[in-house]
Structure 1
Amino acid sequence: MYDVIVVGARCAGAATALLLARQGVRVLLTDRAAFPSDTISTHLLHPTGVARLRAWGLLDPLLATGCPSIDTISFRAAEDLVLRGAPYPCDGVAVSLAPRRTVLDALLVEAAVAAGAELREGASFQEVIWEDGRAVGAAFGGRGGGRSGGFTERAALIIGADGRHSAVARQVGAKPIRDAGTFGCQFYGYWQGLPNVGTQIFVGGGQAVLAYPTHDEHHLVLVGWPHARFAEVKQDLDRHFLAAVAASAPAIAEQLTDATRTGSITGSGDLGNYVRESSGPGWVLVGDAAAAKDPVTAQGIGDAFAQAQSVGDRLASALAGGPGAVDAAMAAHGVDWERGGRAAFETTVAFAMGGNSARLLPVLRAIERRPELISMFYGVYAGQFTVEEFFAAVG
């Protein structure tokens, strides 16, 4: 019997497994994929998340893989207004990162295994095992790390870290607390040869274009549209993508040639904003399984890390107290996370709806030559400040 079974081994699940295993918790970490493997992601990690990697001892190993630091952001809010500044710092960290998920996820998984977690790849979650109304285990199909056929394991807690369409959430009947809807769609691709000038953001004309450096001297170039255009864009994705970049960022568009492109353009319109009930008897949800926001603010990886830290800080000591203590600790985690993340959720929804545009433009003009406030504006995107706190600071 394990103390915990973690279903899903990407940012939320692997980080949670890592923090628990380091405290001597007996962890079974499972995923239907094998690592390294890719997943749809905007990649960007704000200084808040970078600071957690440093605290966990994983920042230097990530940088050693060739992941470039991003210390400059340029934000074109209008034809005649470009804000240039640094990411807002967190615990002395003032850089962002945009690691490929093939690298970041594998690094987290390897660290969890090194800490003592048992990893079973190719394990497809099937169902929760119940006894007297409490989750006490999980059944899996697939090879489960070399085993033939399916398997079942028992644990004091099942941690669902299996994403937006969480099978664990369905199995335990996690109820929606908030469903704010879907407002955007995003697609991205990789190109070589772009100059590394940090993160570049271009907004306007009903779309947004972003470009930032990632592994192997590539840039991720991303376009976001309102969700109402999803079906149209999907019909001829390459044409719409390149036309959007040409309209919003012509200097970047000139460099997006077939010769410098790597792979196909990918993305998603499945970008709902929601919060689910996150814990119950014998189970807890983390990452997108518990709550998700539109990637317009790129808070997803940082949120996963923060939830992993919250669970890790509470669970190890609670396990000694038995099922009641475990459930109480996870309920407290859920309450604190929902309350603490409420403002960032509302800010993200407002950005995703485009509702802040008219309010922001005159304020952004007022801070054009005030670098400390430009960084604070980027802190709004990172969830460190609300729009109202930013407005108050501008005066």
Structure 2
Amino acid sequence: MIAGHWDVVVVGARIAGAATAWALAPYAKKILVVDASQATSFWPQQSTWDRDGALLWADLGLHETVLACGAPPTYGHTFRADGEVTEQDYPRQDAYSYRMTAPREVLDPALLRAAQSRNNVTVLRPARVRDIAIQGGRVQGVTVRHQGAEHPVSCDLLVLADGRLSRNADRVGAVPYQVIPSPWVAMLAYFADLPLPSDRGYICLQRDNVAISTPCGPRQWCVSTDMHQAMLDASGRHPAQEFARIIAEDPHLGPAVAAGRRISPVGGAGKLRMQRRPMSGPGWCLVGDAGYHLDPVVARGTKAALVAAQLLRDRVAAAGEVRGAILEGLTEQRDAAMQPDWELAEQACLPAPSRV
């Protein structure tokens, strides 16, 4: 039975939504997760995190889940800039001192399965929120469309994790208070059987593009580029063509890719914008890109999603239940926790002549 009352309704079942449903489950009787995508959807996206992210996964109780996705931890990378090549090793402070990259079509379903393993989490997919009920300025519930029917649902808390273009965030009045256009176009593809190390990454930095490879599974690598829009405008070529050119001309990646095989389409996104929205309001909360979108060029999006899930979890845990949780001040707390990452991404989005 869908219609009725749920303690929490989570809209979006990817990293932020699935992790939040998992984290709130101990403090709720019933959680409904609504996701618009098909189970077979493919996103040309990856999830990357370093020690900070690994510690967040551990704090949320999901560390073993992400390790089981099969992506090998990396403990350093080869760095190329201006023709100079250096080897960088990550400080080995503890068991979390590594970097990891996982394909989203592997990681996201694993997190959703973990959330569903909680007996009080129900997932509807594909399903959409058609309307949000607001009374006296507070969210009271939603109307969910699933299998051709609409179901009125009430809830104590609505969590929006439905991405940077969330219309539901607009519906609850979460207006962005900071927006920064990005000049970067991100493209990636997955490859298998490359003659590259399985415990180290690679970064090649040029003025108008960055090429990166990182192990992301058994004998699998994600190869990605971030290309400045000015470069694409000057070349007149499609981003996928520039992706192929940059990789082929790279002295490290070119021979490796030629010796291996591509196992996914080339895909990506451009004309993005960084934005910050309020994290919470009466009866609602935003997690993931819906509330805080960082340019993917700095690979901090996963950390931002986990920070928001952790902060919300801690507020609910302090109250002992969802209904009594105090959500005021979450925006300021999130922004303070992520400020260094925001500033790094903001610097990356400066016009090309101003960048270092």
2:179 is aligned with 1:179: yes
Cα distance in 2 between the residues matched to 1:177 and 1:289: 13
Select the residue among 123, 130, 138 that pairs with 1:119. 123
Cα deviations by residue, 1:312-358 (Å, 9 ceiling, x for unpaired): 11024447595xx54xx222222211222223201211133368863
Shift of 1:221: 0.7
Cα deviations by residue, 1:169-206 (Å, 9 ceiling, x for unpaired): 11112112111222211101111122225110000141
Q: Which residue of 2 aligns with 1:311?
A: 312
Shift of 1:38: 3.2
2:353 is aligned with 1:351: no
Cα distance in 2 between the residues matched to 1:46 and 1:319: 31
**1:279-298 equivalence runs, <5 A:** 279-298=280-299
2:43 is aligned with 1:46: no
**1:81-160 equivalence runs, <5 A:** 81-86=85-90, 92-115=95-118, 116-143=120-147, 148-160=148-160
Query: SS at 1:209's partner residue?
Result: strand
Cα deviations by residue, 1:109-142 (Å, 9 ceiling, x for unpaired): 1111112211111111222112222111111223
Give the letter for the 2:331 counterpart.
G
Shift of 1:89: 6.0
Kept after mapping to 1: 8 A contact 2:35/2:124: yes
* Cα RMSD for the two superposed structures: 2.5
Q: Which residue of 2 aligns with 1:76?
A: 80
Q: 1:3 to 1:35 in 2, by over 3 A?
A: same
Cα distance in 2 between the residues matched to 1:321 and 1:193: 47
Cα distance in 1 between the residues matched to 2:265 and 2:225: 14
Kept after mapping to 1: 8 A contact 2:276/2:291: yes
Give the letter for the 2:32 counterpart.
L
Kept after mapping to 2: 8 A contact 1:47/1:89: no
Q: Which residue of 2 aligns with 1:341?
A: 338
Shift of 1:229: 4.2
Q: Which residue of 2 aligns with 1:202?
A: 204
Q: Which residue of 2 aligns with 1:7?
A: 11
Query: SS at 2:27's partner residue?
Result: coil
Which deviates more from structure 2 when the two are superposed, residues 298-307 or residues 70-79? 70-79
Kept after mapping to 1: 8 A contact 2:72/2:216: yes
Q: Which residue of 2 aligns with 1:301?
A: 302
Q: Which residue of 2 aligns with 1:274?
A: 275
Query: SS at 1:331's partner residue?
Result: coil
Cα deviations by residue, 1:27-59 (Å, 9 ceiling, x for unpaired): 111111244643242321222222232344433
Which deviates more from structure 2 when the two are superposed, residues 54-63 or residues 43-52? 54-63
Cα distance in 1 between the residues matched to 2:222 and 2:66: 18
Q: 1:227 to 1:63 in 2, by over 3 A?
A: same
Cα distance in 2 between the residues matched to 1:312 and 1:35: 26
Cα distance in 2 between the residues matched to 1:26 and 1:234: 52
2:190 is aligned with 1:193: no
Q: 1:14 to 1:76 in 2, by over 3 A?
A: same
Kept after mapping to 2: 8 A contact 1:47/1:95: yes
Which deviates more from structure 2 when the two are superposed, residues 155-164 or residues 249-258? 249-258
Cα distance in 2 between the residues matched to 1:160 and 1:264: 29
Give the letter for the 2:341 counterpart.
A
Cα distance in 2 between the residues matched to 1:149 and 1:299: 38
Give the letter for the 2:328 counterpart.
A
Q: Which residue of 1 aligns with 2:63?
A: 59
Kept after mapping to 2: 8 A contact 1:35/1:102: no
Kept after mapping to 1: 8 A contact 2:46/2:104: no
Cα distance in 2 between the residues matched to 1:230 and 1:50: 35
Query: SS at 2:174's partner residue?
Result: coil
Give the letter for the 1:138 counterpart.
V
Normalising to structure 1: TM-score of the pair?
A: 0.81
Cα distance in 2 between the residues matched to 1:204 and 1:117: 46
Kept after mapping to 1: 8 A contact 2:187/2:240: no
Runs of 5+ consecutive residues of structure 1 not aligned to the other structure: 359-395
Q: Which residue of 2 aligns with 1:241?
A: 243
Cα distance in 2 between the residues matched to 1:137 and 1:123: 15
Q: 1:48 to 1:190 in 2, by over 3 A?
A: same
Cα distance in 2 between the residues matched to 1:89 and 1:156: 43
Which deviates more from structure 2 when the two are superposed, residues 134-143 or residues 252-261? 252-261
Cα distance in 1 between the residues matched to 2:320 and 2:68: 36
Give the letter for the 1:196 counterpart.
P
Normalising to structure 2: TM-score of the pair?
A: 0.89
Query: SS at 2:46's partner residue?
Result: coil
